[in-house]
Every structure is written in structure tokens, then in C-alpha cells.
Amino acid sequence: MSGAFIPAPAAHPSTYTPAPGHRYNVGDRVLVKRRFPPGHRRTPYYIRGKTGVIERICGAFPNPEELAYGFDGEPRKVLYRVRFAQQEVWPAYRGPDRDIIEMEIFEHWLEPA
């Protein structure tokens, strides 16, 4: 991370829907898988391979990568909001190190960092 500042997650993050059996907790550092499979993928290309922190557990939802092909999206996947430092995401970023970007990423795209 070369000193990039990752702010602390919100003290009381909300949970939208129950997500039993979630693998990660608020504050955990996660690495977005650096994979480039074909098909409809719900993880932005530019965030793959980047490290962030779980900001909240959003809930468990039908998998959109399966819904996209006409299947029912079961079993549901846990969705997290992940916080990244802009300086981590964009190597040439010139803004202050407190600048962040948050995005929602499904559990199967994350691994422990």
C-alpha cells in the first residue's frame, strides 16, 4: 500500500438485509481478485487487484452474474461496501491521501489481504 491512508470504517455501519455466514467483518482488509473472466461481471475492471477495507456488510442478494444469464441467482452472495484510498486505486492520483472511493463488491470477488 506504500503508506496510502485507509480511513477507519464508520462506527455504526448499517446492514440492509441479513447476511448469515458472511466471511468478512467491518474493518477487515480485503484484496479484490485480479481476475478477468468473460461474461457479465459486477466488479469494475479498474478495481481488480486493489486492496481495501470492509466498510459495511450490505446483505445477501441473488448473484447478478447468474441473473444476467436467466438463472435464479441462488445461492445468494454476500455484498460488502468496500472502501479504497484513491491513491491505491489510481497510481497517478494527485489528491490528498484522505480521498476515498467506496463500492459494493460481492464476497466471491474478495480474498483476505
Q: Where do contacts with other proteins occur on this chain (CB under 8 A)?
A: 36-40, 44-47, 64, 67-70, 90
The values of phi and psi at residue 68, to 5°, are: -60, -20
In terms of CB distance, is 24 or 107 closer to other proteins? 107
User: Is the omega angle on the peptide bond into residue 112 within 30 degrees of 0, that is, cis?
Assistant: no
Q: Minimum distance from CB of 57 to other proteins (Å)?
A: 21
- CB of 77 vs other proteins, minimal distance in Å: 13
CA separation for the pair 6, 83 (Å, rounded): 8
* CB nearer other proteins, residue 7 or residue 49: 49
Joined together, the cell numbers standing for residue 43 give 466488479
